[in-house]
Structure 1
Amino acid sequence: MRLIKKYKNRKLYDTFDKQFITLDDIANFVKKGEIIKVIDDLGNDITQEISLKARLKGKIFGNIRREIIEKLIHGFIKIFKGNTDEFVEILLDLVNQGVLPADIAKELGNSVIKHFNEFNDRIKEDILEIIKSTGFVPKQEYEELKEKYERLKRKCKEGE
């Protein structure tokens, strides 16, 4: 397996040949059937994202009309508003029009939705942490605390 490191400055380093490479080089590795793994500077596996970028570079966007690019951008906006169904419909429409090969549309859809979900989960966690740091708690936790308080109050009254 060929290990490739992606640095913060977006440079890709092939640890096998010990040199910097481009997306075209990655596309060539994949075409030759080489197994690659790409990690970012934190050690996260970003192979799918980089492989997709390598496949898309020059292969598709050079021949796409402006309205198709606008449609894709519209799809990305929809997904960030939480509407994955409409994003998938846009990809299917592009496949049906013969603009995107089905395998690339599938890979693009899976990659974008996966990254969106991870991003969305991190945002939710961050929001909960901010809320908790102010002293507020989620409703379920509040209800549980309220119930404990009521039980303690009843016990105190019984003990009087």
Structure 2
Amino acid sequence: MARTQGTGEKGDPIIIKKYANRRLYNTDSSKYITLDFLAELTKKDVEFQVVDAKTGEDITHNVLTQIIMDEEANGQNMLPVGFLRQLIALYGDSMQSMVPGFLETSLQNFRQNQKQVQDVIENVITSGPFGDIAKTNIELMRSARDALVPGLAPKKPSNSPKKSDDIDDLKRQMAELQAKIERLNKD
């Protein structure tokens, strides 16, 4: 998956300066930012580089590691203990130089195949006796995800008449509910 280049000159990555007081400064927007902001840029595949403001040293790796540590400490555990132990054991090993490329390629393949896996799981879930209920629930969850985190899901062309009918039906139901609420407020 290709990363989006920053808005710097010639599509260069956005430069973030880290000062001695641990503050991060986005040179592209001329604003101070947080690690959470950098995490969001990462999730949106925006390319950036973090440099030490005093020395100019590239510290992107350290900052990304800090973001992972913060996520893991906040209960968002994604890295199993066994994996972490195996990773630590590879430090200093003759295979250490191969691990970063392997991990990066593996995660890229995982992200590319994620959609296919989701489709297979959805087909398994929706093919049973409660398939229609499962399909409705999946659509509701997707709608909630899209409303709460816009831009997370890939854009799909919406030339499906069934989807348009569903939207029209939902609009009609909302209008009916609004009318009922107004009548209740008048009483």
TM range (shorter): 0.3 to 0.5
Q: Give the TM-score, by structure 1 length.
A: 0.39
